[in-house]
């Protein structure tokens, strides 16, 4: 299993500002995934972050808006840039257990943009 810590757990931000979310895993993992969960909705994959390479973004998500860093095998950050109220959401970091294929999730970062 993997234990994932996310910071901040929640934040209230002003329109036009940026926020960086941190994700720390208690073991080394190759891939980390960033999901977004808008109110009342399911999870939508933003990007896959591999250590040592550029993140791979899903359709509808771009690097300028959601830059991702992956400096080592246990840590990643997601920045939500130039925020608008539409970015209000829960952002979730996850990693995959290669032996079983299951995903482990952090508790999420609840972002409210005013």
Partner 1 sequence: SQKIEQNSEALNIQEGKTATLTCNYTNYSPAYLQWYRQDPGRGPVFLLLIRENEKEKRKERLKVTFDTTLKQSLFHITASQPADSATYLCALEFPGRRALTFGSGTRLQVQP
By the rule CB under 8 A, 99 interacts with partner 1: no
Three-state SS at 13: strand
Number of chain positions touching partner 1 (CB under 8 A): 23
CA atoms within 13 A on the CB side of 103: 14
Q: Residues 6 or more apart from 85 whose CB is under 8 A from it?
A: 15, 113, 114
Quote the least distance from Cβ 102 to partner 1, whole Å: 4
Sole window of 11-19, 40-48, 62-70, 74-82 interacting with partner 1 (rule: CB under 8 A):
40-48
Binding segment for partner 1 among 15-23, 43-51, 68-76, 81-89 (CB under 8 A)? 43-51
When computed from its CA atoms, the radius of gyration of the chain, rounded to whole angstroms, is 13
DSSP character for 87? G
Please identify which residue in 11, 20, 81, 110 interacts with partner 1, judged by CB under 8 A: 110
* 63-65-11 Cα angle (round to 5): 130
Task: Name the site residues for partner 1 (rule: CB under 8 A).
Answer: 4, 31, 33, 35, 41-43, 45, 48, 56, 92, 94, 96, 100-108, 110
């Amino acid at each position: 299993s993997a234990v994932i810590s996310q910071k901040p757990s929640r934040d209230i931000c002003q329109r036009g500002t940026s926020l960086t979310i941190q994700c720390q895993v208690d073991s080394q993992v190759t891939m980390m995934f960033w999901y977004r969960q808008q109110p009342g909705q399911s999870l939508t994959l933003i990007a896959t972050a591999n250590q040592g390479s550029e993140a791979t973004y899903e359709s509808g998500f771009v690097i300028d808006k959601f830059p991702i860093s992956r400096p080592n095998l246990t840590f990643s950050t997601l920045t939500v840039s130039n925020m608008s109220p539409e970015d209000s959401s829960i952002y979730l970091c996850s990693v995959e257990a290669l032996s079983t294929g299951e995903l482990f999730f952090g508790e999420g970062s609840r972002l409210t943009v005013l």
